[in-house]
Amino acid sequence: MKKLCAAYKDLYPSYVEDMVEEDTKKWMEDHLTQCEACSKWTENYNNNENEGIHDEMKNTEMYEEDKKTVKRARIILTVGMGAVILLAIWTSIWIFM
């Protein structure tokens, strides 16, 4: 039964977004009527989803800052790799002269 509950919990976000096949949707609805633990879990999940909207907005702002940091890191890495490649070329020219 634990495997069925784990499968239900993994599929539930896709179920909410209507991204599961009809057979899967039917199985999930049947499982929900038969499993009290998943019924409680679903209720808690839905309550937490509604309360988490403001948190999601905060996370979006943090995500934008993270994107800027990653972009800066990529630029620094690219410049650094370019410098290493140029140094390697320059060194190899001096060695073979």
What is the phi-psi region of residue 18: left when phi exceeds 0, alpha when psi lies from -120 to 50, beta otherwise? Answer: left
For the chain, which residues make up each domain, given as ranges?
Answer: 1-51, 65-97
The answer to whether residue 29 scores a pLDDT higher than 90 is yes
- Contact, 17 vs 51, CB < 8 A? no
| Residue 39, C-beta contacts closer than 8 angstroms, at least 6 positions apart | 32, 33
pLDDT mean over 11-35: 92
Query: What is residue 53's three-state secondary structure?
Result: helix
Which segments of the chain does DSSP mark as H helices, in order?
2-16, 22-34, 36-51, 53-95
pLDDT at 46: 84
How far is residue 64's CA from residue 83's CA, in Å, rounded to a whole number? Answer: 29
Please tell me whether the overall predicted TM-score, pTM, comes out greater than 0.85 for this model: no
| Residue 45, C-beta contacts closer than 8 angstroms, at least 6 positions apart | 12
Q: Could you report the per-residue pLDDT of 32-83, keeping only the tens digit for each?
A: 999 999 999 998 888 876 655 445 555 566 677 778 888 999 999 999 999 9
pLDDT higher for 57 or 20? 20
